[in-house]
Structure 1
């Protein structure tokens, strides 16, 4: 693997960690936040929802902005805003203030969701793009592996507010990395001047492309299943199963391990069998494993180790579904890669936020609502993949 390829993967991966770190590192603190600010569990979960809504919607602006001004200026803006909002979260006097500041965090974090995906498309297409995407995801795996553990380590001696101060410091380091090491990948002669009609036209082109919409939905359902887990895991693991914050962090990392290990095989499998085939079979595996998990829990077998093993299996298939579907959705939209990545990311984050709302409404402290939500996502992704990719061996999307 070329040195420049590895360097770009490290840079994009570390930048892309900013958003997940703001989720994963504070998850162990959710019960403490609710208790300290005198808020119910549902209000603490709203800090996740507000973050994801902003995280999703604002990508619609960062994508076109990166097509107009280049990739780096919007990235700088987002990282600065994220840093300031993180400091504000550490000082939040009430749950309402924390919810609002988490929304601002999401506004800033949206920049590191859509722009790195556009940078990947600037460099590569096809299998090479999938390989870079999965390598980036390997770097991102630092977050679910280490962030909850670091967060739980900080919470005990310093309280939950220290988590947001550390997030602010890490974001400043990411900003420095972007300034000094990330090249501008969109040259001036490829930039698109701002025209509202052109932006709306690009959105219209994408939304009328059934393959783009289908692949975006498949990836979004995979993300939604994980967001359902995020919304309930800290309460489920600590209250229902009696885990300590540190034990929760280790269990969370184990669940994420399957995703990131399998994602490293996505490019090789795509090169051998074709990316479309990988998506079809991986969605089938995700649907079957999630249905089995839901039925096992429904029948009363909710042992902790068994649940972790079944979640791990689901995540193994998600590690193939999400990066491959993301790359495929951009494959035929190179001239508007920033806009395509932004719209796809926005739709996926909003689908994830909806999953959090619905799962929170039915969450009763047991594993059944979570496993049911994941099963719905799994079966839906399978149905959409069969409808979208029926008879398609390669992608040809007309403009």
Structure 2
């Protein structure tokens, strides 16, 4: 690997990881921090539970659609401008949410808030592709997946702490302050990574053609499916764990919090062991091995839960093994996908993020449809990773992929 000391304008890898981590955390914090306050929102705005839950859906819609727009715009106008604009939109929307008079206004503003938060995710991935490729990109993404795994778990806890001394409106004031902090960090600490000579046309026709070109890349689409379906397994766990642990196995809320957090720790452990594995193996090899383990663990979990064998220890063993293995899949699949489209990294990251997020969100209700018990959890998680495995074998065909050298990204040859 060729390395050089970063220049004054170029943050070190650690500093870059911290900045990008703060950006990417904006989405999960926006989604999850106010979850403990949902009943309070309904009471304060005289809204039904379904109406309040739609405010979550609005945020998810904003996150998905925002990436599709912001990614191509970052290819045309640069990364910093879009990050600063996204953070500014998020701050404005958060302040307006804090004073929203009705549930309808709140839902609309949550869509806008999601659009603002989406800039951190999509532009963060594009910046990684600007600066790194191969093992270096997968290693950086491993650090960022740590944030993506920890933030959704910690955000509700943070929300509960905030509610001890403020109302649900105060939670959004805190989110606005976090957005301001992100804006300040980007302004002072993050240089532009996409030089003018590498920028793309901002015209809609050109953007549509670029999307079409990327979607015709069979391997890219296959890698998106692998990443999205692996995330779907994780979403199945998130959406079903409370019902399985509390209603089926009788855990109290405090014990459930520890059990749920333990699952996140296993996934985080996998993401942090991933860079060690990449010192000896190619990203495609690590991804394939991780997905194989996940499929086998999912099959075992499905068999044990549907037959009622092993009880809670069987659920823990199967779920935690799958989450650990997912930690080896999630950084490498996006890194391999983005490596194929360095010249359109923002647009490619937008497709990757939106499709990956959309696949996970669409499949997360499956646990509820199957019954919200351990068998439903096991079957849904196994089904997701089994489809991911089929996508890997039939579409990606990793044995046909070339080895990836640890080379610099297109944006700065001095920083690999």
Indicate the TM-score class for this superposition, using the shorter chain for normalisation: 0.7 to 0.9
What is aligned with 1:124?
Answer: 132
Larger Rg: 2
Q: TM-score, normalised by structure 2?
A: 0.85
Instruction: List alignment gaps of at least 5 residues for structure 1.
Output: none
What is aligned with 1:378?
Answer: 385
CA distance in 2, matches of 1:226, 1:100: 28
Deviation sequence 1:335-388 (CA, Å, 0-9, x none): 11111111111111221221235455x164534433332221111001111112
What is aligned with 1:25?
Answer: 33
Which of 290, 307, 310 matches 2:298? 290
Which of 344, 349, 356 matches 2:352? 344
Name the stretch that deviates more: 339-348 or 135-144. 135-144
Q: Structure 2 vs 1, CA of residues 214 and 70 (structure 1 numbering), >3 Å: closer, same or farther?
A: same
1:222 Cα offset (Å): 1.5
Q: Structure 2 vs 1, CA of residues 160 and 239 (structure 1 numbering), >3 Å: closer, same or farther?
A: farther
Name the stretch that deviates more: 249-258 or 338-347. 249-258
Which of 366, 389, 402 matches 1:394? 402
1:110 Cα offset (Å): 1.2
CA distance in 2, matches of 1:298, 1:45: 30
> What SS class does the counterpart of residue 58 from structure 1 fall into?
helix
Instruction: List alignment gaps of at least 5 residues for structure 2.
Output: 6-10, 405-416
Say if 2:233 and 2:384, in contact at 8 Å, map to a contact too.
yes
What is aligned with 1:149?
Answer: 157
CA distance in 2, matches of 1:233, 1:165: 30
Deviation sequence 1:181-211 (CA, Å, 0-9, x none): 1111111121123233321221111111110
1:66 equivalent in alignment to 2:74: yes
What is aligned with 1:5?
Answer: 13
Say if 2:70 and 2:82, in contact at 8 Å, map to a contact too.
yes
Say if 2:224 and 2:334, in contact at 8 Å, map to a contact too.
yes
What is aligned with 2:373?
Answer: 366
Q: Structure 2 vs 1, CA of residues 139 and 365 (structure 1 numbering), >3 Å: closer, same or farther?
A: closer
> What SS class does the counterpart of residue 20 from structure 2 fall into?
helix
Mapping of residues 267-278 of structure 1, within 5 Å: 267-278=275-286
Aligned length: 395
Say if 2:218 and 2:396, in contact at 8 Å, map to a contact too.
no
Q: TM-score, normalised by structure 1?
A: 0.88
Which of 210, 220, 233 matches 2:228? 220
Q: Structure 2 vs 1, CA of residues 105 and 227 (structure 1 numbering), >3 Å: closer, same or farther?
A: farther
What is aligned with 1:311?
Answer: 319
What is aligned with 2:115?
Answer: 107
> What SS class does the counterpart of residue 184 from structure 1 fall into?
coil
